[in-house]
Structure 1
């Protein structure tokens, strides 16, 4: 009896081809990190040029996040229909050309519209690359693989911040968008020639020549070829719609908890990432110092995403995630209270970056394991999309609070509460997931990664 390729891949050691695919996913996330954070790093310059209020700037910061929500909700599910790889290519083209167009705008409205279009592409890329990283990993190293993929966001945001500091001071803020657009289009070629289609997608959807493609991948993955496609995957393909599966009796509660986890963490995360440079500037720091703090928060994410992945290879990811969120809440309060001392503020910015980015990486590591291959991109995409709702609201709420005269210390404290609430939700998700695996042991082992 032939062993299902997915089951064989789950149990074998990771080979160089699998790590190569993870590397491509990291590169995709690097581009996304740059494209997402470019508005935060150019916020002061854009605001000064067009004399924007806090609410207007908040709307600009939210425009890209609004697009990401739409991309996650309406583009990402197509990865379960046409494939992970084709959708990534389409979304890269959308993001690349809209970033270049953003460098040519003449008003805040035009910039906001281009940020929305860029967000559409990013939303599709994030969900699909996250799923591919999970699907090519073994059971033992899945959390680490997805977390490493998440480091790309922090790397892109960090490098983007350093590039932004130079480009803004030398050529102006528009060149930052231009550089991001060109880099994104370069990734179209890299993805086209280097990234294979997901093995899980081929098994679940069985497109034309699926058997030949699966066996070609099998030889590169170091697993045995198969003589026919597994029947269990055919059954999944013919079952009910992807979205309705997310709220089936077996999955509904987990889906709700996952959505709430993304909402709360993204609500806090995007406030920290989007507003920190501008708020620090308003407290007396220079623009360069404010951006530097933002860069350090992003740089901390490189270590935070890898750290949560390493710990999760030994300890259940849900418990590690809860611990990271608790520490993040404490650091948010400590960070805003330290702005009178530049050195302490920058040090705490680095620590905060490690923890807050680790929280996001933990969400990405948890989410693919909850769903089967036939609905995985849909499930992850909707979870990310719901999280974007929190990300969209976050900068807008902060802008309104700041315009009303609330102090930065009080504002940061409010956002710390979001991470405390998220702890309760994640632990509830952990309990629900464990109960699901006990109730559906066969389904959990055969249909989830």
Structure 2
């Protein structure tokens, strides 16, 4: 094994993981502070207004995903992720001093622009450095960072909010940028696959030399030939006749998956508090949901690499449907905790398996664009989830109708992935590194 290559992969995976963890913290923090915001007398927020603020964040993420995914297929992975992490950290810090709900909502929208660009860029970069037989696992392992960030949000919220108020949570969400940005500047390389796909072979060879890895000549030439043949422009590629049916089906699945992710993360504490649980227990549900999500991601990647991303994704969405329906039934608290954990196991991995499928489905020159568009269209679902939750909570219908609605979303997601056709060309990722040179 080429030790240098293994070290490169570890740095890429670690730095992208941390970026996604910080993104997870900054997204889920709003769900953690929502009960406090609704009771913050100077602002006098209603449930509907709080849902609108949540949706502004997600609207920014949608715009960021749709635009920045394409940008990274033009300017590269490294520059894009640096810009995104810097932007969302800055605007998250400013949320801590927002003087009004209007300014707060605007800052959340601007933070969302950067947040939306992190995920497609990080997934593309990690997938392009991962070993070919670990493509799905590399994506699901990366996404454990999101849920570790979410768990840290819940853990920190329990002591911080009562002691220092909700504003302190946004300071905590911005501080990691002081470490991660300098590390990225020093240790994060550009994607060799991206450089080859753009015909920048000399630059790829020079970078490979500095990184201590060896390009596999035949694989590198094959990547370059195939990418040039497929490169009609990133947008045209993903909407071309061969890819279009799969693209549309994955749009639907991503919409449903992100509706579940953000609907539950935003409103589960308030739904459970409305069901009679105290604030501490309601926040514990959020914690348990995301602990279950981490366990699901650890299992989902290896399963997908063995049986296929599409088959695994259908199964995960279907099982999420079953357990979301069970949450509508009032059960003893320990049993409810268990069902919430198992629900998190299936729900969050379903969405990530959609991303894993995207990573294998498209050519390098359109991969980040496809990831951005699938995530971006999914953000429409992420906007609808909190809005739906706010409506149901405000109308007093969150139990049981909220969980019925979430279960229906899971069922539609399963059906959408089931009808995705085979990729026209790219059944697996092809890495230009010598076999065994990368980890993952």
Q: TM-score higher than 0.5 here?
A: yes
Q: CA RMSD in A?
A: 2.5
Q: How many Å separate the matches in 1 of 2:404 and 2:251?
A: 23
2:317 aligns with one of 325, 328, 335: 325
Equivalent position of 2:105 in the other structure: 112
CA distance 1:371–1:341, change in 2 (3 Å):
same
Q: Is residue 38 of structure 2 the alignment partner of residue 38 of structure 1?
A: no
- Where in structure 2 are there 5+ consecutive unaligned residues? 433-440
Q: Is residue 6 of structure 2 the alignment partner of residue 15 of structure 1?
A: yes
Q: How many Å separate the matches in 1 of 2:105 and 2:350?
A: 28
Q: How many Å separate the matches in 2 of 1:212 and 1:316?
A: 32
CA distance 1:143–1:446, change in 2 (3 Å):
closer
1:350 aligns with one of 334, 341, 360: 341
Q: How many Å separate the matches in 2 of 1:21 and 1:60?
A: 33
Q: How many Å separate the matches in 2 of 1:424 and 1:186?
A: 42
Equivalent position of 1:428 in the other structure: 419
Give the number of aligned pairs: 428
Q: Is residue 240 of structure 2 the alignment partner of residue 240 of structure 1?
A: no
Does structure 2 conserve the Cα–Cα contact (< 8 Å) formed by 1:88 and 1:128?
A: yes
2:160 aligns with one of 167, 171, 195: 167
- Please state how far the C-alpha of 1:139 moved relative to its aligned partner: 2.0
- Where in structure 1 are there 5+ consecutive unaligned residues? 1-7
> Which stretch shifts more, 21-30 or 68-77?
21-30
Q: Is residue 118 of structure 2 the alignment partner of residue 125 of structure 1?
A: yes
> 1:36-185 to 2 correspondence within 5 Å?
36-49=27-40, 50-185=43-178
Equivalent position of 2:19 in the other structure: 28
- Please state how far the C-alpha of 1:407 moved relative to its aligned partner: 4.2
Q: How many Å separate the matches in 2 of 1:136 and 1:228?
A: 13
> Which stretch shifts more, 181-190 or 277-286?
181-190
CA distance 1:220–1:407, change in 2 (3 Å):
same
Does structure 2 conserve the Cα–Cα contact (< 8 Å) formed by 1:370 and 1:448?
A: no
Equivalent position of 2:190 in the other structure: 197
Equivalent position of 2:256 in the other structure: 264
CA distance 1:300–1:201, change in 2 (3 Å):
same
CA distance 1:227–1:123, change in 2 (3 Å):
closer
Using CA pairs under 8 Å that are at least 6 residues apart, name the structure with larger relative contact order, 1 or 2: 2
TM (normalized to structure 2)?
A: 0.91
- Please state how far the C-alpha of 1:76 moved relative to its aligned partner: 2.1
Runs of 4+ in structure 1 deviating by more than 6 angstroms, as ranges, are: 225-230, 445-449
> 1:190-229 to 2 correspondence within 5 Å?
190-207=183-200, 210-216=203-209, 220-221=212-213, 223-224=215-216
- Please state how far the C-alpha of 1:214 moved relative to its aligned partner: 4.4
Does structure 2 conserve the Cα–Cα contact (< 8 Å) formed by 1:158 and 1:299?
A: yes
1:402 aligns with one of 380, 393, 397: 393
Does structure 2 conserve the Cα–Cα contact (< 8 Å) formed by 1:246 and 1:252?
A: yes
Q: How many Å separate the matches in 1 of 2:429 and 2:333?
A: 53
SS of residue matched to 1:314: helix
Q: How many Å separate the matches in 2 of 1:59 and 1:116?
A: 11
Equivalent position of 1:296 in the other structure: 288
TM (normalized to structure 1)?
A: 0.89
CA distance 1:96–1:209, change in 2 (3 Å):
farther
Does structure 2 conserve the Cα–Cα contact (< 8 Å) formed by 1:372 and 1:448?
A: no
Does structure 2 conserve the Cα–Cα contact (< 8 Å) formed by 1:18 and 1:221?
A: no
Does structure 1 conserve the Cα–Cα contact (< 8 Å) formed by 2:227 and 2:365?
A: no
Does structure 2 conserve the Cα–Cα contact (< 8 Å) formed by 1:25 and 1:149?
A: yes
Q: How many Å separate the matches in 1 of 2:204 and 2:340?
A: 50
Does structure 2 conserve the Cα–Cα contact (< 8 Å) formed by 1:372 and 1:447?
A: no
CA distance 1:271–1:211, change in 2 (3 Å):
closer
- Please state how far the C-alpha of 1:290 moved relative to its aligned partner: 0.8
Q: How many Å separate the matches in 1 of 2:381 and 2:429?
A: 33
Q: How many Å separate the matches in 2 of 1:275 and 1:84?
A: 33
- Please state how far the C-alpha of 1:375 moved relative to its aligned partner: 1.0
Equivalent position of 1:415 in the other structure: 406
Does structure 2 conserve the Cα–Cα contact (< 8 Å) formed by 1:69 and 1:120?
A: yes
> Which stretch shifts more, 411-420 or 344-353?
344-353
SS of residue matched to 1:141: helix
SS of residue matched to 2:97: coil
